[in-house]
Chains A and B, each alone.
Chain A
Amino acid sequence: MTDESINITSVEEVLTANDAALTEEEIYEKSKFSLETENLCVSFHGREAISDINSKFRKHSITAIIGPSGCGKSTFLRALNFMHDLTPGALVSGSIKIHGKDISEYDMTDVRRRVGMVFQKPNPFPTMSIYENVSAGLTLYKRHKRKELDEIVERALVHAGLWEETKDRLKVSAMALSGGQQQRLCIARTLAINPEIILFDEPTSALDPISTSRIEETLHTLKKDYTIIIVTHNMQQASRLSDYTSFFFLGKLIEHGKTRTIFTSPKNTLTEEYIIGKFG
């Protein structure tokens, strides 16, 4: 199986196959994915928002999710770490697998710690300092030694590209940071809990070009340790940043493949029309 062939049909082939009947090569192939969804559907008050999403996300890669507004990108992303749990009227069906194991076999908080999420609008905890914000996911989970915390906080801030700007004022309120800094703080906060997969829902849509490029750099360096899924409306961003691209339309996954392929020779005419800007 080559990379090019990761599209809906190949996903179905692998997933419907009985695990016991897999060849060694196929098992190896499977182990390369950290996250898979199978017939994932989400409906709100009986109205379907996304339906039958079959997708796989490769380890150490960036996957961009693109599609017109309202097509269900956020809904899909939020389903991956149980965020619909709080939404009244939301119903999720199908299955999600982390490292080939269904998430029902994990604990809910455990899934959320493995699958981190950074939201569209920066949302630091307003009553906490920069340091407390980054360490919140750790200290509120279990006790940590001060020294250990200091190290993790520093590493997370360095990783998120915020250390230089904040190392002298870690005790200052998080609200004293600029929007772009706050977003990087939220990234650091997510990195601190050391997830395996990080979901980004339009993380740069509210930011200026400089902050955006810094965050893109950050994502690029994060790739070697994490599986990254990013929703974006910015085609340039998708093409320069991602290895794979999924195109969503009206709640369906229309096409998934290598970013280069999707942007140069998409199979589906809808994908092509969306990418060249005919609609959306």
Chain B
Amino acid sequence: MTDYYSKIRDNSSRRKFKSRLMLTLCILAAMLAILPLVYIFFYTTIQGASSLNLAFFTELPKPVGETGGGMANAIVGTLILVGLGSVFGVPVGILAGIYVTEYSKNFFANVVKFVTDVLSGIPSIIIGIFAYGLIVIPMQRFSAYAGGFALGLLMIPTVTRISEEMLKLVPHTIREAALALGIPRWKTTLRIVLRTASGGIVTGILLAVARAAGETAPLLFTSFGNSFWSSTLDSPMASIPVQIFNYAISPYDEWHGKAWAGAFVLISLVFIVSLLVRIATRNKYSQN
């Protein structure tokens, strides 16, 4: 006679093994996901350390042959360009998301959804060329406006998509509760529904900002680059990614170091901005 219990024990030990295996795979995958970030962070720090000094943050780039100098104009430029892009892309994205979820379930809404999906798949260099054709050629000059516009365009699909998904998660009963209090529809949407979804939408905006901050291709055709301070928004403007690009393809070792330092600053910038926005928009009543 076979031991009846042993079968169950076999079963359970096999189950345990499977469970352990899956857990191990999950942990491995999670490590794989953060490994590149950690690696990049350390590598850029080490490579760029020699160039990272106060001058890097306060001085303009020096011409070929001179040592020293920094990237102050590019750091400020990136902040301005991403700011311009956000001013354009974030409201458009959120409003489009609101339109699609709150106000319309018709053919046009589906078109909007489809087009934003397609837009998110368009390579950023094409967005750059589009902005070049639309703004740079008529204005006959590279400008911060054109760069901001290109970055904004890039942000729209992400922001729209995430706003839509987050708004859809807001239970219908919340809208009914607000309307039943005699609160007008638009206020219900802006002050209650949007507020309920704000946690997730902020995440979406940060993803979009982080991506825009690192874009090089669309800026090559639009804000171009500048070795000096830009006095106005309709003149070419330096940005960290373009500066990194220029330094990285140069034959000089010192400039390579500067490119690494630029990469480090860019990553830190995205990190700090994300952190600040998170703290500023933290809702003490939100669920998570």
Residues on A lying within 8 angstroms of B by beta carbon are: 81-83, 85-86, 88, 109-113, 116-117, 119, 121, 123-129, 136-137, 140-141, 173-175, 186, 189-190, 193
Contacts and interface: CB of A to CB of B under 8 A. Distances in A.
B166 to A, nearest CB: 12
B192 A109 contact: no
B31 interface: no
A119 B178 CA distance: 12
Contacts of A116: 180-181
A113 B187 CA distance: 15
A110 B183 contact: no
A86 B173 CA distance: 12
A175 B286 CA distance: 9
Contacts of B187: 140
B176 to A, nearest CB: 6
B196 interface: yes
B285 interface: yes
Interface residues of B, number: 26
Contact of A126 (B175, B188, B191, B196): B196
Q: Is the interface of B mostly helix, strand, loop or mixed?
A: helix
B285 A123 contact: no
Interface of B: 105, 171, 173-184, 187-188, 191-192, 195-196, 198, 283-287
14 contacts: A81-B180, A86-B179, A109-B184, A112-B179, A112-B181, A113-B181, A113-B182, A127-B198, A127-B285, A128-B285, A136-B183, A141-B182, A173-B285, A186-B177
B174 A123 contact: yes
A112 B180 CA distance: 6
A37 B285 CA distance: 41
A49 B105 CA distance: 24
B177 to A, nearest CB: 4
A172 to B, nearest CB: 8
B174 A125 contact: yes
B285 A117 contact: no
Given A136-B192, A140-B183, A140-B191, A125 B178 contact: yes
Contact of A136 (B176, B181, B198): B181
Nearest to A124: B177
B285 A86 contact: no
Contacts of A88: 105
Contacts of B285: 126-129, 173-175
Contact of B173 (A110, A121, A190): A121
A83 B180 contact: yes
Nearest to B170: A126
B178 A136 contact: yes
Nearest to A195: B182
A191 B286 CA distance: 25
Contacts of B195: 125, 127-128
B180 A109 contact: no
A178 B198 CA distance: 24
Contacts of B191: 140
Given A109-B182, A110-B182, A123 B105 contact: no
Contacts of B184: 109
User: Which 6 pairs of residues, A with B, have the shortest CB-CB distance?
Assistant: A113-B182, A137-B181, A112-B182, A173-B285, A123-B173, A117-B180
Contacts of B171: 123
